[in-house]
Amino acid sequence: MSAHATPTPRLTLGDIAKKKAAREPIVMVTAYDYPSAQIADAAGVDMVLVGDSGAMTVLGYDSTVPVTIDEMLMLTKATRRGLTRALLVGDLPFGSYEASDELAISTAQRFVKEAGVDLVKIERGGTTVHRARALVNAGIPVVGHVGLTPQTATALGGYRAQGRTAEAALAVIDDALALQEAGVSLIVVEAVPSQVMAALAPLLRVPTIGIGAGSDADGQVLVFHDLLGIYDGPAAKFVKRYADVRAASVAGVAAYAAEVRSGVYPAPEHGYGMPEGEAARLRESLDTR
């Protein structure tokens, strides 16, 4: 047997396209640091998104708007170090790409060069379509994001489902088609009625990743902290909790606190000893001082 284990092959965009062609669902999850990336990779997901949802889930902001490029880069670099197989998507934060093609390219290049992302994600249609085209022309693969776009949720009337009337649904569909035309590699579709996703899916060549968009997308994405139940309080309607990590974590830390307070921890097996005779020599040295 070779001394070196065969490295796990990194997935490529070609692999993602093949999954769509084979109607094999694409699995994406968010991650924000080294351990969450390792967990996502060990679970065999196809794509990891360092979403700007990390502004709320790990940095404690009350929306995604305040997070900075440098904060997102720190989270993205840590995630990169934890991944061996899944494709890595970096989320460009609010204010870091909208104003011009040049701004979008220079921000995206930082995510590629400094954090090693495979793709960058940007939100909305409209002027974002121009930014998407500029990024693709600069050689940077792009993930579009339509429907509920949290960076501009205030303008959309809050965190609520989009495309609920025929006119509003057409606007979501037109955004997605324009992004495809601009050359994006994938499109995230967030919080739209399942009928809208069902109408959109057959119109697109590029894979779609749904979140709160029903089951007609080519794949699904959920936020790591949502699906594992890492925080308290209500989650969006589309979230399914697969674990209660917060409860298990609180119980673990409370048990530790109780054992420290009662003297149960640390036990002798958690400590280090001195070699034979050294403790006696130490005592003698202290006594002769």
Question: Which residues belong to the active site?
Answer: 190
Distance CA 90, CA 53 (A): 12
Under rule CB under 6 A, residue 129 binds ligand KIV: no
Residue from 19, 43, 42, 40 nearest 30 by CA: 40
Which residue lies nearer to ligand KIV by CB, 196 or 277?
A: 196
95-126 burial code (b ≥16 CB/10 A, e <16): ebbbeebebbbebbebbbebbebbbbbbbbbe
* Residue 78, both tokens: 């840590």
Which residue lies nearer to ligand KIV by CB, 53 or 180?
A: 53
Going residue by residue from 212 to 251, which x/- string records binding to ligand KIV, judged by CB under 6 A? ---------x-x----------------------------
Which residue lies nearer to ligand KIV by CB, 169 or 213?
A: 213
* Residue 289, both tokens: 């001082």
Distance CA 35, CA 47 (A): 16
If you search the block for the tokens 């990390």, which residue do you land on? Answer: 54
For the segment 32-51, give every residue that binds ligand KIV (CB under 6 A): 49, 51
Residue from 120, 113, 24, 43 nearest 84 by CA: 43
Under rule CB under 6 A, residue 91 binds ligand KIV: yes
Distance CA 88, CA 167 (A): 34
Shortest Å distance, C-beta 16 to ligand KIV: 16
Under rule CB under 6 A, residue 188 binds ligand KIV: yes
Q: Residue from 104, 132, 189, 211 that binds ligand KIV (CB under 6 A)?
A: 211
Residue from 219, 222, 220, 221 nearest 23 by CA: 219
Total interface residues for ligand KIV by CB under 6 A = 12
Which residue lies nearer to ligand KIV by CB, 134 or 148?
A: 148
For the segment 244-283, give every residue that binds ligand KIV (CB under 6 A): none
Shortest Å distance, C-beta 29 to ligand KIV: 9
Residues that bind ligand KIV (CB under 6 A): 30, 49, 51-53, 91, 145, 188, 190, 211, 221, 223
